[in-house]
């Protein structure tokens, strides 16, 4: 009888209690890693960083003593300079304007306004409250907000796919695609990130590492993000750049550097508390 009373008291105490989700949850299914970042505290641990020289995702993971690391922005492997904006600690640490290989390419130079305004993932500081946002680089920031850290990639996947607007495809007058960038129309590994807005202004960040086992074109990537009910989503650099490190998980999409993966320029890291 005494044990029964204790059990009943325990059940009454637990009634109405909502257990918080783990801040980092990683699931794997059919060649796709699905990472969910929950709660407000994890936002304080996220940084977007760059390296002076190209290094592998694992090197960035170990050097930064990160909990979790993924690849982010586009870069030029020839001069090892970024093709994407990266902001860290409210300072722009990578600016594609200073990549002379972009500026000297007549086709890219003619489309600079589209390239420079590609989509980015931001963590905003809004009056001491951190907030996720996916937006184009030139989009205005809400009053009382500032960008704490961000990484540009593209294209935007949700709510609308922005292939032409961000110079990932070019069409002729008849509507035929005559140019493709970042293999958006081909099945390839991909690094994707999105946001799900929850009640009471809560948010989750969702990351998908699409491996060689289940490559996707950009339309399939969009549909994957939509199937999880994300409100906004975008791609980072993919293909052979797709990389992911977490605990004993080490995902690379190429056999470069003796199987340790491709040298990369920028990363999303989650710092230890």
Q: What is the pLDDT of residue 4?
A: 40
With CA atoms as reference, report the closest residue to 242 among 24, 26, 31: 31
Angle 110-81-211 from CA coordinates, rounded to 5°: 95
pLDDT tier at 15, thresholds 50, 70, 90: very low
In-domain check, residue 13: no
In this predicted model, which residue has the larger pLDDT, 258 or 146?
A: 146
| 18/251 Cα distance (integer angstroms) | 34
Q: What is the pLDDT of residue 257?
A: 85
Q: What is the pLDDT of residue 17?
A: 45
In-domain check, residue 1: no
Q: 9-18, 26-35, 167-176, 250-259: lowest mean pLDDT where?
A: 9-18
In-domain check, residue 126: yes
Whether residue 14 is predicted with pLDDT greater than 70 in this model: the reply is no
In-domain check, residue 10: no
In-domain check, residue 75: yes
- Please say whether the beta carbons of 168 and 155 come within 8 A: yes
Structure confidence by residue, pLDDT tens digits, 136-147: 999 999 989 999
Mean pLDDT (the chain, rounded): 93
In-domain check, residue 142: yes
β-sheet bridge partners, residue 24:
37
Domain that includes residue 185, residue range? 26-270
In-domain check, residue 3: no
Domain count, the chain: 1
In-domain check, residue 181: yes
Predicted TM-score (pTM) of the model is 0.92
Whether residue 103 is predicted with pLDDT greater than 50 in this model: the reply is yes
pLDDT tier at 40, thresholds 50, 70, 90: very high
Whether residue 37 is predicted with pLDDT greater than 80 in this model: the reply is yes
């Amino acid at each position: 009888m005494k044990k029964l009373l204790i059990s009943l008291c325990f059940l009454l105490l637990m009634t109405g209690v909502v257990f918080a989700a783990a801040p980092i949850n990683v699931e794997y299914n059919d060649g796709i890693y699905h990472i969910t970042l929950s709660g407000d505290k994890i936002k304080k641990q996220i940084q977007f960083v760059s390296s002076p020289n190209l290094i592998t995702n694992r090197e960035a993971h170990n050097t930064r003593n990160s909990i979790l690391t993924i690849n982010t922005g586009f870069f030029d492997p020839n001069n090892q300079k970024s093709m994407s904006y990266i902001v860290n600690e409210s300072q722009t640490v990578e600016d594609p304007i200073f990549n002379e290989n972009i500026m000297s390419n007549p086709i890219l130079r003619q489309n600079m306004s589209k390239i420079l305004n590609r989509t980015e993932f931001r963590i905003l500081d809004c009056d001491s409250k951190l907030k996720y946002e996916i937006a184009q680089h030139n989009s205005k920031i809400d009053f009382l907000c500032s960008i704490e850290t961000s990484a540009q990639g593209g294209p935007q996947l949700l709510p609308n796919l922005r292939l032409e607007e961000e110079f990932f495809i070019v069409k002729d007058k008849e509507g035929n695609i005559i140019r493709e960038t970042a293999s958006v129309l081909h099945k390839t590994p991909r690094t994707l990130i999105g946001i799900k807005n929850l009640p009471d202004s809560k948010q989750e960040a969702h990351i998908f590492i699409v491996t060689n086992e289940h490559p996707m074109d950009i339309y399939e990537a969009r549909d994957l993000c939509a199937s999880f009910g994300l409100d906004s989503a975008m791609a980072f650099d993919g293909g052979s750049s797709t990389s992911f490190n977490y605990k004993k998980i080490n995902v690379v999409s190429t056999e470069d550097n003796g199987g340790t993966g491709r040298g990369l320029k920028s990363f999303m890291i989650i710092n230890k508390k």
